[in-house]
Amino acid sequence: MRIAAGRGNYSPFRLGEMASSVFLTSLWLMNDTALVDPFGRRIEYVRVSVTDRCDLRCFYCMPRGFRDFEEPEHWLSFDEIERVMAAFARLGTRRIRLTGGEPLVRQNLPDLAARLSALPGVEDISLSTNATRLAKSAEALYAGGVRRINVSLDSLKPEVFRDITAGKLEKVLAGLMAAKQAGFRPIKINMVVMGGVNDDEVGDMVDFCLEHGFTLRFIETMPMGETGREAAGHFVDLRRVKERLADRFELIPGMMPGGGPARYVRVAGTDLHIGFITPISQHFCETCNRVRLSVDGTIYTCLGNEHKLELRPRLRAGCSESDLEAAILEAIALKPERHEFRERPEKVVRFMSMTGG
Ligand code: SF4
């Protein structure tokens, strides 16, 4: 059953309160629930930002001296996050990615992962991290049900890494090795390619991932907030990077598990998969399958737009389960068709760290 949001389609919420939850639960039991946006896209993936704070300051994401973070009393508690994600799961969400800021800045994250991976209907829990704190928590995250990890790594040179992030490369490398040891598969490396900053390291990053059995994804800069717009000056069209790699390797079209927008190739004769995330040169909005939940309980329906719905006031006003499901449908009905990063780069005010990429 497609639960279509918007455009006046049939909605179970016209049924009685209990009837609607039973109706949805029965659909879920038949594993037949699909949350569909106004453009017919199935929304089966939610990126949950558990904090807007981070221990790094990547210049294309958060300004160096930035301190204006969300107040802790506005953070959704683990109980509230679990309740919201249970409602999303009843409506057809199957994948949850834990993000930030830096999610491992939030204490007891493995506990939250365990609670979310136990939710009926949830099939996949993954994590996006800068890995500076991963060495300490890799085992606990794995025990908590996380199986796939994406790690941001823009350089293999300590001084370049420091210039980009204001952080220490060795901490990230230690985190990566701990994740490998713990058994996460795949481990994906996210490299934001920037002209005159790290684009000379593309080949080294390929060799690094070949050596360690990691999957590599190249990402184009995006005009998210002032920092994102300033970084756009270093924009690199990833089609050029792919052409350069094709001079060195035989690249075969490939696939990788996960619900993200990367277009993959495999390097012939190896298991190395390389993904290209190209929001600017070749956007992927027509196949979008996700929304974001920010630390303060706001559903952002699109990374490149401000269409959103605040859940926290409703949660703290004691809304019922069907009210919560209705609010989620209301949010999905707001989802825009696509971003306007090229047409209106000034549009998105918030930093990437506020909704976790
Ligand atoms: S920019 Fe918006 S519509 Fe496009 S893929 Fe990202 S979230 Fe989806």
The reply to whether ligand 1 has any atom less than 6 angstroms from the CB of 285 is yes
Quote the mean pLDDT of the chain: 91
- Given a cut of 70, whether residue 309 has pLDDT beyond it is yes
* Minimum-distance ligand 1 atom for the alpha carbon of 305: 2
Q: Looking at this protein, which amino acid is placed at residue 316? A: R
- Return the biggest CA–CA distance within the chain: 62
Strand order in the sheet with 148-152: 251-254, 263-267, 273-277, 215-219, 187-192, 148-152, 124-129, 95-99, 45-49, 290-293, 298-300, 308-310
- Quick one: which atom of ligand 1 is closest to the CA of 341? 1
Centre of ligand 1 to C-alpha 58, Å, is 22
| Percent of the residues in the chain that have a pLDDT greater than 70, as a whole number | 91
**Nearby residues of 349 by Cβ (< 8 Å), 6 or more positions away:** 225, 306
Who has greater pLDDT, 18 or 352?
352
- CA dist 340 and 101 (Å) reads 23
Give the burial class of 349: count Cβ atoms within 10 A of its Cβ; 0-12 exposed, 13-18 middle, 19 or more buried: exposed
- The verdict on the CB of residue 302 being under 6 Å from ligand 1 is yes
For 213-229, what is each residue's pLDDT tens digit? 999 999 999 999 999 99
pLDDT in tens, 200-214: 999 999 999 999 999
- Closest by CA position to 128, among listed 108, 107, 109: 109
Going from the Cα of 307 to the center of ligand 1, the distance in angstroms, rounded, reads: 11
Question: Given this model, what pLDDT does residue 60 score?
Answer: 96
| pTM (2 d.p.) | 0.90
Cβ(316)–Cβ(192) under 8 Å?
Answer: no
**Tell me, what's the pLDDT at 4?**
54
Say how far apart CA 101 and CA 103 lie, in whole Å: 6
- Rounded Cα distance between 163 and 21, Å, is 52
Homologous superfamily of 12-355: Aldolase class I (3.20.20.70)
Alpha-carbon Rg for the chain in angstroms: 20
Mean pLDDT of 341-351: 91
Block residue for tokens 């939940």: 293
In this structure, the number of other CB atoms found within 10 A of the CB of residue 277 comes to 20
Structural domain spans, the chain: 12-355
